[in-house]
């Protein structure tokens, strides 16, 4: 099974929550801390549910999320 790699650039994230709203597996959560610009950013909280569908990355208006499937 491929290993999922979700990278979220917290400094680019503005906390719009689109990725959280559209994630079918609810693998993303809003962090309790803020980035340097003062925005609460999104964190990956997989618990083995993520399917690497990339919907989160497609919905992110700041292009702050990258999804890779490694073999």
pLDDT tens profile 60-70: 999 999 998 76
pLDDT in tens, 28-44: 999 999 999 999 999 99
Domain count, the chain: 1
Which residues have a Cβ under 8 Å from the Cβ of 63 and sit 6 or more positions away?
12, 57
CA distances, 68 to each of 2, 36, 58 (Å): 9, 26, 13
- CATH code of 18's domain: 3.30.70.20
Kindly state the percentage of the chain with pLDDT values over 70.
Answer: 92
pTM: 0.85
Residue 66's domain comprises 3-70
Instruction: Return the sign of the alpha-carbon dihedral for residues 24, 54, 56, 2.
Output: positive
């Amino acid at each position: 099974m491929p290993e999922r790699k979700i990278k979220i650039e917290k400094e680019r994230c503005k906390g719009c929550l689109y990725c959280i709203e559209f994630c079918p597996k609810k693998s993303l959560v809003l962090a309790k801390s803020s980035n340097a610009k003062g925005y609460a950013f999104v964190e990956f909280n997989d618990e083995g549910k993520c399917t690497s569908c990339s919907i989160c990355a497609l919905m992110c208006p700041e292009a702050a999320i990258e999804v890779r499937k490694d073999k």
